[in-house]
Amino acid sequence: MAKLEIQIQMRKMIKPSTPTPNHLRSLKLSFFDQGAPRLYVPILFHYLPTGECNRELGIIEKCEKLQNSLAETLTSFYPLAGRFMEDKFLIHCNDVGVEYVESKVNMNLAEFLRRGPKIELLDDLLPEMDQSSSPLLGVQVNLFNCGGLVMGIQISHIIADAFTLATFLNEWANTSLTGTTKDCLPSFGHLSSLFPPRVISAGPQFSLPSIEGPKIITKRFVFDAFAIANLKDRINPSTAIFTRVVVVMSLIWKVLMGISSAKHGHSRDSSFVFPINLRGKSKLSSLEHAQGNFYVTVAATLEANEMRRELHEFVNAIGSTARNTSLSIGKAASVDEIMSLSINCGTEIINKFVQGDAIDIYPSTSWCRFPWYEADFGWGKPMWVSSVGKTFEVISLFDTKDGDGIEAWVSLKENDMLEFERDTQILASTAFDSSIWIK
C-alpha cells in the first residue's frame, strides 16, 4: 500500500461556546495526575460513508456539526480547552481552545482497511500537537475520497485517563447526534480536593524510555471469541479469575517470558504491569464519575526458575494481583489509606524499573469495556476503533467491534517481535493483522 496522501485543509483552535466562569478558571490537579506520564494518548475512530446523495454537502455538514458540537461540549469539559502550568501544577482554564484539524486523504477508506491497514500509516491520521501552544486535546478529521472519515484524537495524559477520554468523547458524540447536552456535568476538581499532590521523598525515579533506543515495532493481533474460549479451556477450573482480558494478558506474558528465557539462556524474574481503574472500587461513591486520572498501576510478578510455566500460573498471578488490589481499595477506610496504597504500588513499580536489565518488565493497558463503539456523531457508530504504533514497549488491549474478542496491539523491540509473531501459541490463537471485515 502506498504512503497516504494527506493534505491539511484547515487548522484552528476550537473554544468553548460559553466562556468559563471566573471561579472555574484554575483547576488544581490531583495526586493521581501527578503520576501520569507526560505524553499524549491517541485513539482513532473509523467511519464508513453513509451514502449521502450530495457527498460534498454531506461532508461540509458533518464538519460543521463536529465543530459546533465540540464547542458546546467544551463548555462542560472546560479544562480541556485550557493549558497546563507545570510550575503551579494546575490547569489554567483560559478557553484558549483545542487543536482542530481537517485533512483530505486521497484514498477510499474501504481500500485502506480491507486488508488490514499498515500500522505505520495510522499515525498520519493523528493531529500533530503544537508543543509551543501546548493544547491538551487535539482532533484531526480525515476525509477520504469515498466520503468516509477517520477521526484522530490525542489527549494529554496529565488531564485524562481512558475513563475521562471515553466520557468526553461520548458526551461530544451525543451532543452532535441530538443537538443537546446532558444535564449532569462532569466532576472536575473533586479528586484534587480529596487527593492533593504530594512531595514525594527522594528515591528511585522513573521516566518513559528514550525514543533513541532500539527500534520498536507495533503489530496487531486479534483474539476472537472462539480463540479466547479455547484458551479458557486450557486453564485449571480451580483458577479463581480468568476474564477474557486476564486470559489474553496471560498468554502474551507467557510467550514473552519464553522469548526472554531463550534469549538469555535461563529464566528471569518477570513482571507484567497494568493499571486498575479505581472508580467504583472504593467506599467513596462520589468518585464513580470523577474526571482526571484515577487509577493505580500494579505489577504481577513471577520469579525465575527452571520449571515449566503453565498458562494458569500466569492467569493466577495477574488475576490475584488485580483482585487483591481491588479488595484493598474497597477495604480502605479513609482517603489517606487509598493514597498510601497507591504510593506503595507506585514505589514497587519504580523499584522494578530501576533494576534495568536484571528483570523483565512488560507494561500494558486495557481499554476494553469502555464504550468506544457507541460514539455516534450522527452518521452511525464507528466500524473500527484503533490504536496506533508506539515508540516504546507496551501491550495495549482493545475490544473487537462485536465486544467478544480482543485486539492486542503489541509493541516490542524488533528482534523480540520476530520471535513473538511466529510463536506457535500466538499463531494458534490469533489472526495477525487480519482484515477489518470489509468485503
Average the pLDDT over 125-129 and give the result: 93
Are 125 and 140 contacting, i.e. CB atoms less than 8 angstroms apart? yes
370: Cα within 13 Å, side-chain hemisphere = 22
Percentage of the chain lying above the pLDDT 90 cut: 72
More confident residue, 406 or 187: 406
Quote the distance between the C-alpha of residue 146 and its chain's center: 29
Are 44 and 113 contacting, i.e. CB atoms less than 8 angstroms apart? no
**Span(s) in the chain for CATH 3.30.559.10:** 6-194, 216-377+389-432
User: How much is the pLDDT for 358?
Assistant: 85
User: How much is the pLDDT for 181?
Assistant: 80
Domain 216-377+389-432, what fold?
A: Chloramphenicol Acetyltransferase (3.30.559)
Q: Average pLDDT of the chain? A: 89
Average the pLDDT over 149-160 and give the result: 96
User: How much is the pLDDT for 205?
Assistant: 46
Highest mean pLDDT among 129-143, 383-397, 422-436 belongs to 383-397
Q: Point out the least confidently predicted range of 63-67, 180-184, 330-334, 434-438.
A: 434-438
Highest mean pLDDT among 172-186, 405-419, 425-439 belongs to 405-419
Angle between helix 414-421 and helix 244-264 axes, rounded to 10 deg: 120
pLDDT tens-digit readout, 283-328: 877 788 899 999 999 999 999 886 668 899 999 999 999 999 999 9
| Amino acid making up residue 120 | E
Residue 88: Cβ-neighbour burial (10 angstroms; 0-12, 13-18, 19+): exposed
pLDDT tens-digit readout, 28-66: 999 999 989 989 999 999 999 876 545 665 788 889 999
Domain 6-194, what fold?
A: Chloramphenicol Acetyltransferase (3.30.559)
